[in-house]
Amino acid sequence: MKYLFIAICLSLSASAFADVIHLTNGKDINGTVAEYGNMNFTIEQEGGASLRQAAAMVKSIEFSPRAVSFELRGRPKIEGNITSYEGGAFLVQTADGKTEKIPAMFASSLSFGGLARKFMLLSGGTKLDLKKVIAPGKITIVDFYAEWCGTCKQLGPQLEKLNKEDSDVVLRKVDIIDWNSQVAKQFELKGIPNVQIYDRNGKLAGTVTGASIDAVRTHVKAAKQAK
């Protein structure tokens, strides 16, 4: 059985770390809050390190605003853009412009949108939920590839270089495994590498089939100018 797994490479750029976690002992942690559950935060740091921090030891968090979905105990799920954590509660701005204050004790878990990660490597060939990998406010490059594809190996390092150099670009590499996989059928892929570029609003700005980094850069430029 094939499983979807996510390997997060956070050492690519310091700009991937958008959050500042202020602890009750006066110390600060710079990193990206990737998960919350059972009154614990999972924080990813430079070099790929990951640590768990009890919510009781966290005074406040300055979040880079990004999409978040809260699973609550005894209440409907809440989605919106998270802005901060203070006094044991999260502040979230919902789609209707309201600000919700969510006590941490009421949140069974939360999941972040793609913005939390500048680089994601996905494998397993299963269906892809674009809403979970596209980064709102950023230019998202989705690279469909396979380990057995020679042309993909040629383009891959160039995409990763672009990801490192441009703070507005996030990269999601999706290993299709083979042509019969669910993800290959989902996107009706006929050739790889197949690179899709999404603008800041999550709209597809262009697709490149083949190893043309220049074509990718052209679509990235156009995506930045899109309104």
3-state class (DSSP) for residue 139 = strand
- Based on the number of CB atoms within 10 Å of its own CB, is 106 exposed (0-12), middle (13-18) or buried (19 or more)? middle
Catalytic residue among 152, 184, 197, 216: 152
What is the helix, strand, coil percentage profile of the chain, to 5?
25, 45, 35
Secondary structure (DSSP) of 42-71: EEE-GGG-EEEEEGGGEEEEEEEEEEEEEE
Report how far apart, in Å, the C-alpha atoms of 10 and of each of 47, 72, 185 are. 6, 29, 30
Strand order in the sheet with 169-175: 5-8, 119-123, 169-175, 139-145, 194-198, 204-209
Give CA–CA dist 49/57, Å, rounded. 19
Q: E strands along 26-155, which residues?
A: 28-37, 40-44, 50-54, 58-72, 78-86, 89-93, 99-103, 107-112, 119-123, 139-145
Q: Any idea what DSSP says for residue 26?
A: S
Residue in 82, 142, 149, 169 annotated catalytic: 149
**Known catalytic residue: 9?**
no
Residues acting as catalytic residues? 149, 152
